Amino acid sequence: MTGGDSVRIIKRTTDRIPDSGSFEVKLPDKSFYFYWDDNPGRRSVRQVDDSHQALEKAKSFARGHRLE
């Protein structure tokens, strides 16, 4: 893989579960998802990050793949 434009981060949300969703790191051949929930009670049960933490993890992951 070459070039930074081949990696994108897309925010995914749903109306069914408010204040939650995922960040999709879209590579040319595969996608990786970083799930988040901004409801503290639900987040502890689901064991996921809040939206800021998930976005930072997605960005870090994407940066690593841009360098390859």
- Confidence label for 18 from pLDDT (cuts 50, 70 and 90): very high
Q: Which residue has the tokens 């841009």?
A: 66
Q: What is the DSSP letter of 49?
A: B
Question: What integer pLDDT is reported at residue 44 of this predicted model?
Answer: 83
Whole-angstrom distance, CA of residue 54 vs CA of residue 57: 5
Mean pLDDT (whole number) for 42-62? 94
Tell me how far apart the alpha carbons of residues 46 and 3 are, in angstroms, rounded to a whole number.
35
What is the residue-averaged pLDDT of the chain? Answer: 90
- The amino acid at residue 36 is W
User: How far apart are the C-alpha atoms of 45 and 4, rounded to whole Å?
Assistant: 36
| Mean pLDDT on 8-24 | 95
Centroid of chain to Cα 57: 7
Share of the chain above pLDDT 70, in %: 90
pLDDT at 65: 87
